[in-house]
């Protein structure tokens, strides 16, 4: 974990965009192939609810993943995620492009990652989060190591924690 302690409100204040990996963050990392070769993924409903709440609160959400999957496009469409980048080898470079397109800087970005391909991006943003079951190096790079595992509500946990720190969660409950 980064050496300097900063409170949730200090870290979350400037965050207006969450970028996330998929496998191991929005899913449990398992890839299931059916007998006809089709690939399936399991997404957690609370993550979807959290993403919708984040977007409805006026913030941006994007996906940057190394794999390509029709299910990711489908899930993103269901949730209203407009920034979806699949098959990305250099996640940091792609994130920089998305951030620029949104008119933001890295100080406005939280990235949720779980493994080695995420490290460079995690180290470059204002707030890095890792699911509880992320690889050790990802957990070490994270400002926030989450209670939830990948595919078990980790994204929702980040959304709720950010909105609570911004004092925007209670109005959602009302």
Residue 111's alpha-carbon distances to 19, 52, 146, 165, in angstroms, are 5, 17, 13, 17
Averaged pLDDT score across all residues of the chain: 93
Residues annotated in a binding site for Mg(2+): 21, 114
Write down the domain spans for the chain: 10-173
pLDDT tens by residue, 40-89? 899 999 999 999 999 999 999 999 999 999 999 999 999 999 999 999 99
Residues annotated in a binding site: 21, 23, 114
Sequence-ordered list of residues with C-beta below 8 angstroms from that of 13, at least 6 positions apart, any chain: 165, 166
Residues annotated in a binding site for substrate: 23
Higher pLDDT, 64 or 5: 64
Residues 24-37: what's their mean pLDDT? 92
CATH class of 10-173: alpha beta
Q: What is the pTM of this model?
A: 0.93
Whole-angstrom Cα distance, residue 135 to residue 113? 9
Residues 157-171: what's their mean pLDDT? 93
**pLDDT given for residue 138 in this prediction:** 98
Look at residues 28, 102, 27 and name the one whose alpha carbon lies nearest to residue 62.
102
């Amino acid at each position: 974990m980064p050496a300097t302690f900063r409170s949730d409100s200090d870290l979350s204040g400037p965050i207006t965009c969450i970028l996330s990996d998929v496998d191991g963050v929005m899913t449990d990392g398992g890839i299931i192939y059916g007998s006809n070769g089709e690939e399936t993924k399991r997404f957690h409903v609370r993550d979807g609810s959290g993403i919708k709440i984040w977007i409805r609160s006026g913030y941006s959400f994007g996906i940057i993943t190394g794999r390509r999957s029709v299910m990711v496009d489908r899930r993103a469409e269901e949730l209203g995620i407009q920034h979806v980048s699949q098959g990305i080898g250099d996640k940091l470079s792609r994130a920089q492009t998305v951030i620029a397109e949104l008119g933001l800087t890295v100080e406005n970005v939280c990235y949720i990652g779980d493994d080695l391909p995420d490290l460079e991006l995690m180290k470059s943003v204002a707030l890095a989060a890792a699911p509880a079951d992320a690889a050790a190096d990802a957990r070490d790079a994270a400002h926030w190591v989450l209670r939830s595992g990948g595919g078990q509500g980790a994204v929702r946990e980040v959304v709720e924690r950010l909105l609570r720190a911004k004092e925007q969660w209670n109005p959602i409950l009302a």
